Structure 1
Amino acid sequence: MMVLACLLLVSIMVGLWRVILGPSRIDRLIAIQLFGTAGTAMLLLLSQSQSMPALLDVALIFALLAALLSAALVQYLRSNLHDD
């Protein structure tokens, strides 16, 4: 499990690098979506390793919020694209 957690942490760091230096808005949006997916996976790993079933509910809520945030960011970027 430690290997999976380290891989998720590395993917989050690569995503953060892409958010900071990403050449386009789409790259940044995909990196932000990666944060939601990797964060949910980290919560699921933590829930399994610590035997805390309540974290499963938190991971589910986090996944739903990440999906809503992605949809909101797409709408925001679409409206800003037409304003330019």
Structure 2
Amino acid sequence: MMLYAGLLLMTMAVGLWRVMRGPGRVDRLLAVQLCGTSGTAILLVLAQAQEQRALRDVAMVLALLAAMISVGLVQLLRRRGHG
């Protein structure tokens, strides 16, 4: 289980690198979505490994927040005329 968490953490690191260096705003938006999805998956893997139900609840909240942030960023890009 910890191997999966480590691989997901590496995926999140690549996403954070893309947020910092991404060539365009759309690439950065996709990287933010990747980080939210990876963070949710890491929490779910850790919840299963440690048998903690509270981590599942935190993962659900993170998934909802990541979706709302993505919607907000798309609206921001649309208002500025980049999409």
Normalising by structure 2, what TM-score? 0.92
Offset of residue 2 of structure 1: 1.8
Q: Give me the CA root mean square deviation.
A: 1.1
Matches within 5 A, 1:3-82: 3-81=3-81
Runs of 4 or more above 3 Å deviation = none
How many percent identity over aligned positions? 59
The total of aligned residue pairs comes to 82
Q: Which runs of 5+ in 1 are unaligned?
A: none
2:54, 2:18 → 1: CA distance? 32
SS in 2 for 1:81: coil
Normalising by structure 1, what TM-score? 0.91
Offset from partner CA, 1:38-66 (integer Å, 9 cap, x none): 00001101111111111111111110111
